[in-house]
Chain A
Amino acid sequence: MQIQAPGRTGPQLNQLMEQTGEGRACLQDVCGQRYLAAGRAGFSLDIYGTPGNALGAWLDGCTIRVHGNAQDAVGDTMNSGSIRIEGMAGDAVGYAMRGGEIFVRDSAGYRCGVHMKASDRTQPLLVIGGTAGSFLGEYLAGGSILVLGIGAENRVPVGNFCGRGMYGGRIILRTRHLPPDLSSRLTVRTPRPEETGQLRQWVGRYCRMFELPPLEVQPEDFQIIEPDSANPCQRLYAGI
Chain B
Amino acid sequence: MLKREGQVRIPAGCAISGIFSRSGAPVNGGRIVQSIAAMHDRSNGLGGGFAGYGIYPGYKDYFAMHVFFDDQTARRDCEEFLQRHFDIVNLSRIPTRKVKSIRDEPLIWRYFVQPLHHKLADCQLDEAEYVSRCVMRINSTVKGAYVFSSGKNMGVFKAVGYPEDVGEFYRLEEYEGYCWTAHGRYPTNTPGWWGGAHPFALLDYSVVHNGEISSYDANRRWVEMFGYRCSLLTDTEVIAYIFDYLLRRLGLTLEEAAAIVAAPFWDTISRMPEEERERMICLRRKFSSLLITGPFSILLGFEGGLMALNDRLKLRSLVAAEAGDTFYVASEECAIRTIQPQLNRVWAPRGGEPVIVRLNEGVQV
Cross-chain contact A32 with B334 (CB below 8 angstroms) = yes
Interface string of B343-365 (1 = CB under 8 A from A): 00011101100000000000000
> Of the 9-residue stretches B56-64, B174-182, B278-286, B313-321, which lies at the interface with chain A?
B313-321
Cross-chain contact B348 with A71 (CB below 8 angstroms) = no
Cα A98 to Cα B317 in complex, Å, equals 24
Cross-chain contact B268 with A160 (CB below 8 angstroms) = yes
Partner of A72, one of B267, B317, B347: B317
Cross-chain contact A69 with B346 (CB below 8 angstroms) = yes
Cα A134 to Cα B351 in complex, Å, equals 9
How many A-B residue contacts, CB cutoff 8 Å?
A: 61
A91 within 8 A of B: yes
Cross-chain contact A53 with B332 (CB below 8 angstroms) = yes
Interface members, chain A 34-52 (any B CB < 8 Å)? 34, 49-50, 52
Interface size on A, residues (CB 8 A): 23
Task: Give B265 Cβ to nearest chain A Cβ, in Å.
Answer: 8
Task: Determine the main DSSP class of A at the interface with B.
Answer: loop
Nearest to A30 among chain B residues (CB) is B334
Partner of B41, one of A34, A71, A88, A109: A34
Interface string of A139-175 (1 = CB under 8 A from B): 0000000000000000000011000000000000000
Nearest to A159 among chain B residues (CB) is B350
In the complex where A31-B337, A90-B348 touch, is A71 in contact with B271 (Cβ < 8 A)? no
Interface string of B313-338 (1 = CB under 8 A from A): 11001010000000000001111011
Partner of B317, one of A49, A69, A90: A90
Interface string of B289-321 (1 = CB under 8 A from A): 000000000000000000000000110010100
8 pairs across A/B with beta carbons < 8 Å? Answer: A31-B38, A32-B333, A69-B333, A72-B332, A88-B347, A133-B351, A134-B313, A181-B268
Q: Which 9 A-B pairs have the closest CB atoms?
A: A32-B334, A110-B314, A31-B334, A50-B334, A109-B348, A50-B333, A50-B337, A32-B38, A31-B338
